A and B are shown apart, each in its own frame.
Chain A
Amino acid sequence: MEIKLTLNGKTVTDRIDPDLLLIDFLRTHGCYSVKRGCETSNCGLCTVLMDEKPILSCSMLAARASGHSIRTLEGLQEEAADFVGFIADQGADQCGFCNPGFVMNTIALLREIPDPTDDQIRSYLAGNLCRCSGYDGQLRGIRSYLESRREKGGSHGK
């Protein structure tokens, strides 16, 4: 079947098998940031934005994305670069395999709740597993990004 969608701002048309998962479609189209971690919708590694809302690309058929706009980390480099350095300063990137999904969901979080509390951060990102960091470094990173943004007068607030 043929599908047509917007991938990171560009129109993509492709013939696909009806049972192709969105994650595999995206990786075939060069979006290697999208990772598979569990196959059971438990880990959050494959998080991408569909029409600007976070979804798990391992649990959606590529066909369902037809007519929609998909964004992966490849298409959000600048917005991500804004805050991921703060995660790096904590050393919380570690093995990095969960990072893209975590970063995508954090982008969604910061767009939806520009100034979240720690509890809001934890619950919004609860579906993003990380086996290396123990999570606290990620939280400290986001927290210090928010603080630095506040000091700069909230210029990056959406």
Chain B
Amino acid sequence: MENKEYRSIHKSVRKKDSMQLLLGKPVYMDDITPKDALVVKLLRSPHANAIVRSIDVSAAKKVPGVEAVYTWEDVPQNRFTIAGQTYPEPSPYDRLILDRHVRFVGDAVAIVAAETEKAALTALRLIRVVYDVLEPVLDFRTAKDNPVLVHPEDDWYPPCPVGGDNRRNLVASDVSEDGDVEAVLKDCHIVLERTYHTKAFNQAMMETFRTYTEMDRYGRLHVISSTQIVFHCRRILSHALGIPKSRIRVEKPRIGGGFGAKQTAVCEVYPAFVTLKTGRPAKLIYTREESQIAGSPRHEMEIRIRLGADRDGKIRCVDLYTLSNTGAYGEHGPTTVGLSGHKSIPLYTGNLEAYRFGYDVVYTNMQASGAYRGYGATQGIYALETIVNELAEQLGMDPTVLRDKNMVKEGMRMPAYYNEEANACALDRCMQHCREIFHWEEKYPVRDMGNGKVRAAGVAMAMQGSCISRVDVGSATLKLSEDGTYNLIIGAADMGTGCDTILAQMAAECMDCSIDDVAVFGADTDASPYDSGSYASSTTYVTGKAVEKACAQLKEKICSIAAEMLDCRPQDVLFEGKRVRRIDSDRAVSLEQIAYKSQVFNNTAAEVTASHSSPVSPPPYMVGMVEIELDKDTGLVTVLDYMAVVDCGIPINPALARIQTEGGIVQGIGHTLTEDVRYDGKGRPIHSSFLQYKLPTRLDMGKLRVEFEHSCEPTGPFGAKSIGEIVINTPAPALTHAIYRATGVWHREIPITPEKIALSLTEKNNA
């Protein structure tokens, strides 16, 4: 496969929308929607847990330009989830559009719609609310079976049996295992037991949450939203508003980043409700503060691991328990937690004799969490990779050699990964390659630079999945136009990742045409074929395969139209890209002629729709190595060199795969070193702006180097697996490792800020 010559695949072509984006053309929601829409603003709770005793909106309604003010009394009383997941959703139905019970600082209390932003903001200030303030649950370690219930309501409803119980603040709970964990641990020479803590990091995509709604020319609700999930969004709105899906159309324009945040319908219900009530166009654009405090960040997790190994470094047992904090609502709570074990433990399939993976997901009175690139795997891999580094240091063994001994290899069956086989796995080659080009042998030893600064290195491996097996559906519609070019219509959502382009590359490869001859459109619930949406690392792998299928089917149709023109049977012609030829002669018709024929006295549609789902979710693999310089006086960590080698199968577009990797690494560096999530004693978030929540700048990431080791996934399109999520998983454990090497201190909570490092060194020196 690797040596095959492709025309369009495995090529670094420009994204189809590149020049529009780079030249600042109006392509995002707020650029393309009418300016006279009602401005929607939300009044947000100042309390972490409270009941609205009374709410007086009379003064607010009198503000000139205010069209409407809605409170909990005005909205439908059927609970729903805003998690973008396939029905029936694993996430509990625990939300109302507005609830009398507000459950975190920032929870919506009232909706204001006004002609201008100024009028809306004035009205917000004039709403008088009397709250019965309740004690909040702010420590997720004490949430389970806490006498204070985050969701005491009787109509709390879990559509799937995931072990949740709202009377216990529990969203989900489970244990799975293979082998006799206790017996194997007892037999191990070394058993390490450690606990790690990761926080609720924000996606911080540059375009905040935003939605425009209007009644269209058929009197239907037309939603233009910055979303990764047009179809799920339509279903969520239908549930929330109590109107049929046929009365809703959801489309996405270009999206200014998502990273999973927009896999949850964070803001869609509010303007939709306004438009439905008033009949008028409405627009809601979250401020950065709202995106930070009332968005859908990563789940905070505490992960306890017992790792059993022999003296020679054979890792025989992993016992992993995750406590996950879903915050005030349960979006993606039951599913993210699963990845913390299922997408970390299989890395050590090599000698694993037994594993156990248990978890609890709890409610607290903090911002609700959701989907963020990595989706629980990031947290689990941080913990497992760190304890493996701790084991290596304890054994005095090179941590890359320790991994060589234990890692999953091609052909192995992975009991901890749904018993799937590692069809295509180049993890061993990734490690070897990374070691060589990073110069691990030189950089691993700690080097004192003589000026209070120390240089050191760290390593980590990672995996992810490619799609949710047996769930995700990808689809593609392919149509022939009369000039012999194609329209590719998808329901997957390009959020900057370049999926429109890589899917066009696949279509061009299959149809033997230029990528310029494939026009891509997506995504719109009225026009696109059903697709679960762009998440779970599924688009390349699942929708890509749907494109392949659609191309094969369209070729058949084209050949059948051509056969009629060539007076022969369809099996007697050959598709040659620009033309179809009779096998037995040189008689041929051009694609253009066939396309025109398809529009005259024709009963065969020159278009097809194909869908694809996968029974497996082949993991991509990766190795990351980092070299840092650490200032022992200030605790400042400077990233000097980050080297990553990724096995994403065959990269469809190497330039885009590389940028995905670089972007993921820098996000990972951010949540390991600078992005802190903090609340005050009353549950009020402190990380509410970019002044406090420090994203990495281009001065913070050092030198990045990314390379690929190819494997060929037999179930993927052109041998491809996923790339989008895995790339965020190595920085936290690799940096934690390097910081230990430089200081002799293991930090078991991220982020590891300079203050924490400096304080730990003071403590160490005093001890």
Contact = CB atoms under 8 A, between A and B. Distances in A.
Given A39-B689, A90-B659, A95 B206 contact: yes
A134 B664 contact: yes
A62 interface: no
Interface in B491-515: 495-498
Interface stretch (A109-117, A122-130, A145-153): A122-130
A134 B259 contact: no
Interface string A72-86: 111001001100110
Contact of A131 (B14, B498, B656, B695): B695
A56 B463 CA distance: 40
A39 B288 contact: yes
Interface stretch (B89-97, B123-131, B250-258, B354-362): B250-258
Contacts of A92: 659
A34 B18 CA distance: 17
Contact of B655 (A73, A90, A95): A90
A131 B697 CA distance: 9
Interface in A38-85: 38-40, 42-43, 45, 72-74, 77, 80-81, 84-85
A133 B495 contact: no
A93 B22 contact: yes
Given A93-B22, A126-B697, A132 B288 contact: no
Nearest to B496: A95
A89 B14 CA distance: 5
Contact of B699 (A84, A100, A126): A126
A88 B665 CA distance: 20
Contact of A98 (B17, B25, B206, B658): B206
The residue in B27, B289, B496, B665 that gathers the most chain A C-beta atoms within 10 A of its C-beta is: B496
B19 A88 contact: yes
Interface residues of A, number: 54
A2 B691 CA distance: 33
B698 A125 contact: yes
Nearest to A42: B690
A94 interface: yes
B22 A91 contact: no
Nearest to A97: B256
B666 A40 contact: no
A77 B12 CA distance: 25
Given A98-B206, A136-B704, A131 B259 contact: yes
B231 to A, nearest CB: 21
Contacts of B666: 134-135
A129 B19 CA distance: 20
B663 A134 contact: yes
B528 interface: no
B100 interface: no
B542 to A, nearest CB: 21
Nearest to B21: A96
A96 B288 contact: no
Given A123-B699, A134-B663, A95 B23 contact: no
Given A40-B288, A45-B206, A129-B206, A96 B22 contact: yes
B206 A97 contact: yes
Contacts of A137: 655, 658-659, 662
A142 to B, nearest CB: 11
A13 B667 CA distance: 43
Contacts of B655: 89-91, 137
Nearest to B667: A131
Given A32-B24, A133-B659, A91 B257 contact: no
A42 B292 CA distance: 14
Interface in B1-48: 12, 14-15, 17-28, 30-31, 35
A93 B663 contact: no
B27 to A, nearest CB: 7
Interface of A: 17, 27-28, 32-35, 37-40, 42-43, 45, 72-74, 77, 80-81, 84-85, 87-100, 103, 122-123, 125-139
Q: Which 9 A-B pairs have the closest CB atoms?
A: A95-B496, A33-B24, A96-B21, A97-B256, A134-B662, A88-B18, A42-B690, A100-B24, A73-B24
Interface of B: 12, 14-15, 17-28, 30-31, 35, 118, 203-208, 254-259, 287-289, 495-498, 653, 655-656, 658-659, 661-667, 689-691, 695, 697-699, 701, 704
Given A35-B206, A37-B208, A91-B659, 4 more contacts: A32-B30, A89-B12, A135-B698, A137-B659
24 contacts: A32-B25, A32-B26, A37-B208, A37-B288, A39-B289, A39-B689, A40-B691, A42-B690, A42-B691, A43-B206, A81-B23, A84-B19, A85-B22, A91-B12, A91-B498, A93-B15, A95-B21, A97-B205, A99-B22, A129-B695, A131-B203, A131-B205, A132-B663, A134-B704
